[in-house]
Amino acid sequence: MRNNARKNIIYSIILLLAVFIVFLYRQNQFGNKEPEPEKEGKVVITGKTMGTTYRVVYLDQHNRDFKPSIDSLLVAFNQSMSTYISDSELSQFNQQDTLAYLTEFFPSILKKSKAINEQTQGAFDPTVGPLVNSWGFGPGGAQLKDSVQIQDLLKLVGFEHIQFDDQKVWKSTPGVYLDFSALAKGYGVDLVAGYLQKEGIKDLLVEIGGELVARGTNENGELWKVGVNQPSEDPKDNGLYGIIALDNKGMATSGNYRNFYYKDSVRYSHTIDPSTGYPVNHSLLSATVVAKDCMTADAYATAMMVMGTERAIALQQQENLDVFLIYNDSTGMKTYVSEGLSPYVSYIKGEKE
């Protein structure tokens, strides 16, 4: 008994010594290291703009609230580019033939519009505004015209009717009307992202009405992941068809499955073909484009919805664009994913071709 007690004491002393040695070792290894920096905080801001909603997520260890500044920026942008505001910069130009720029937004959006108009051979054309209004998708509501009036309006469609320099913009044909709704949200997203970056924010995700820009990574150190909706006429159906990881890119989706109406049993979509003056009627359900900035993605997505599936794929190959197309064929719903985007698509519901 006495020997067992002595052994237990010895074992206890040895165990304590071992724990003490490990403690000293860890102190030596880690005790002199600087403490790890506090993990950056996640800030989420939401609001309304351009007749829709916005959501901004960013990482900032100081948890700064940029909502007032973001709201002010978006109000100024909307006051410049909205066709729904009668005294906006754009509305002033539509009411006259020449306008000296009031903001930096106007010349920037004109330059981008001209470039995409040329690259898409006119499929993207912001002078299509009178046709958009006439088919009932503008500020005035439904005012369906007959074919003769459509042909008359086509005389005012074409970006060649718009001239501009660094100081002003003017019309070479009176009566031309500009509508930048096909890329304004994308431009707004870029502006908000640019503002945050100037404030030192490196990791952010900005979304306005479904158009997005991602920079850096999320709070888990991963690329920001965003969804592509299942094409459905039911506004309550928010199911995802795919998920895309954005590597410092902008993304925009255009589709005809929600914004349409029926008249005399005929379905009219909001996408108007500038070459015919009529709403498009083809198998392409939605076009998602990923680009360096959201304004570019927004414009190309609109152009592809004008073009239809085959021409959209041809444009993708010509311009080496990153695209995710959803379309119908004789066997059902299909997808086309460009080679450059494919590694970033982590989930696809459907058949990839």
Residues at the annotated binding site for Mg(2+)? Answer: 182, 298, 302
- Specify whether the backbone of 146 is left (phi greater than 0), alpha (psi in -120 to 50) or beta: beta
Contact predicate 159/113, CB 8 Å = yes
Beta strands in the chain (DSSP E): 42-49, 52-59, 98-100, 162-164, 168-171, 204-208, 211-215, 224-229, 240-246, 250-255, 260-263, 266-269, 284-291, 322-329, 332-337, 345-348
Measured CA to CA, the distance from residue 223 to residue 220 in angstroms comes to: 9
Spatial CB neighbours of 76, under 8 Å, sequence gap ≥ 6 = 103
Tokens describing residue 119? 């690259």
Residue whose entry in the numeric block shows the structure tokens 């503002």: 195
- Burial of residue 273 (number of CB atoms within 10 Å: 0-12, 13-18, 19+): buried
Tokens describing residue 54? 């916005």
Sheet-wide strand order for 42-49? 42-49, 52-59, 204-208, 211-215, 250-255, 284-291, 322-329, 332-337
Tokens describing residue 88? 């906006």
Which residues are part of a known binding site?
182, 298, 302
Spatial CB neighbours of 240, under 8 Å, sequence gap ≥ 6 = 227, 228, 229, 230, 347, 349
Q: What is the separation, in whole angstroms, between the first and last Cα of the chain? A: 81
Tokens describing residue 237? 């159906």
